[in-house]
Amino acid sequence: MRRAEHLAHQRENILPEMDYDPPELKESGFTNFSVFGDWEESEFEVADVKDMRLEAEAVVNDVIFAVSHMSVSKYLPIGEDVAFINVETKEGNKYCLELTEAGLRVVGYGFDQVDESLSLPYHETVYSLLDSLSPAYREAFANALLQRLEALKQETHD
What pLDDT, in 10s, does the model give residues 88-147? 999 999 999 999 999 999 999 999 999 999 999 999 999 999 999 999 999 998 888 899
43-82 confidence digits (pLDDT tens)? 444 444 557 899 999 999 999 999 999 999 999 999 889 9
Q: What is the CATH topology of the domain spanning 52-156?
A: copper amine oxidase-like fold (3.30.2280)
C-alpha to C-alpha distance for 84 and 11, rounded to whole angstroms? 30
- Domain boundaries of the chain, sorted by first residue: 52-156
The whole-angstrom separation of Cα 31 and Cα 154 is 58
pLDDT on residue 153: 86
Tell me: pLDDT of 150 over 50: yes
> Helices marked H in the chain — which ranges?
3-13, 23-28, 41-63, 126-133, 135-157
Its pTM stands at 0.66
Nearest to 51 by CA among 86, 4, 1: 4
Over the stretch 18-53, which tens digit does the pLDDT of each residue have? 333 444 444 444 344 333 344 344 444 444 455 789
Angle between helices 41-63 and 126-133 (to 10 degrees): 40
